[in-house]
Amino acid sequence: MNGGVPQTYESSSDDHPAARRRSLIGRGGRLRRAGLILLGLLSTLPFASSALGASASVGLGSAASFSVLGGSTVTNTGPTTMFGDLGLSPGSSVTGAPHVLGQTHVDDAVAIAAKNALTTAYNDAASRPSNGSAGTDLAGQVFLPGVRTASSSLLLSSGSVTLDAQGDPNAVFIFQIGSTLISGSSTTVLLVNGAQACNVFWQVGSSATLGTGTRFVGTVMALATITANTAATIHGRLLARTGAVNLDTNTITNSNCASSVSGSGGGQETSPEAAGGSGLPGGSGAGGGVTTKPLSPTGSRKPGARRRRKATRKHSTPRPALPHKRGSFTG
């Protein structure tokens, strides 16, 4: 007996139609948010891998100190000057007496170690995923950071090619070249917006030839021979794995980033030997960018200038106070 009171069914909150709708909507919203997050993560993977291939510099290891490193022989004509080391292995013949401001290592343990490091760096540069084609002629082109590929020969026929770092001093430029690299006479590689020679690499599948009077920038890593014709200047390195390096009245300045002399990139580039010469990359008229000396540490600066500035501020005539009357202004 229920005393005449009709029996009612009390449904749980989940059974109520409105509650079910809210529950479904809540679950659907969470699923949509999770899907969007997953989609966002997946969509960034190609860009992340591409950026990794482009942003990591090529470590040269013990080969970084060498301006010239040859395989079979090194020949020279005229007053060539190199600011780094000269190395040769397994060959033993260096002719023409280039002026070497660093050390000379001919088929010794140092040269052998440098050649092994060069092989590692060469293979690293060759294996990077490409960000696009370099075309067949660099003349007049502007390249942003990344890896560019030429399936066969690559030519700089005339004028200049520009490498634009877009304000990033760690920007890396890698050119993968299937066979030969050739620059014409009086051509130039330009660095702009923070690009540094220490982060420019030319991986050459056979031989490289730099034309008369060319102003070249970056580390050239060739499988076979490298020839620098008369008066070519190089802000970087000429590193040949198996063939000869042939020089003729050249100036070669090593390119080392300030944070790493191993060629691993990063930081502001410093090259004191290149900073002052008008005929060297980094000097006026070279088209290779301007190297800048870093500021001395704050603690090493002279305190006299600070005291003079403080005294000047202390005794300077104060500015007259503005009148408080609204609407009036004198000055």
Q: Give the pLDDT of residue 250.
A: 98
Distance between CA atoms of residues 61 and 239, nearest Å = 13
Q: Give the pLDDT of residue 256.
A: 85
Cβ atoms within 10 Å, residue 159: 15
State the pTM of this model.
Answer: 0.68
Distance between CA atoms of residues 198 and 119, nearest Å = 18
Q: Give the pLDDT of residue 262.
A: 46
pLDDT band at 325 (very low <50, low <70, confident <90, very high): very low
Q: Are 147 and 174 in contact (CB under 8 A)?
A: yes
Distance between CA atoms of residues 228 and 212, nearest Å = 8
What are the tokens at 174? 């890698």
Q: Are 224 and 240 in contact (CB under 8 A)?
A: yes
What are the domain boundaries of the chain?
61-275
Range in 35-49, 130-144, 201-215 the model is least confident about:
35-49
Identify which of 166, 165, 161 has the alpha carbon closest to the alpha carbon of residue 141. Answer: 161
pLDDT band at 29 (very low <50, low <70, confident <90, very high): low
With a CB cutoff of 8 Å and minimum separation 6, the contacts of 48 are none
What are the tokens at 300? 């090493």
Distance between CA atoms of residues 138 and 173, nearest Å = 14
Which residue type is seen at 328?
S
Chain segment 254-290, per-residue pLDDT in tens: 988 865 444 444 444 543 333 333 334 333 333 333 3
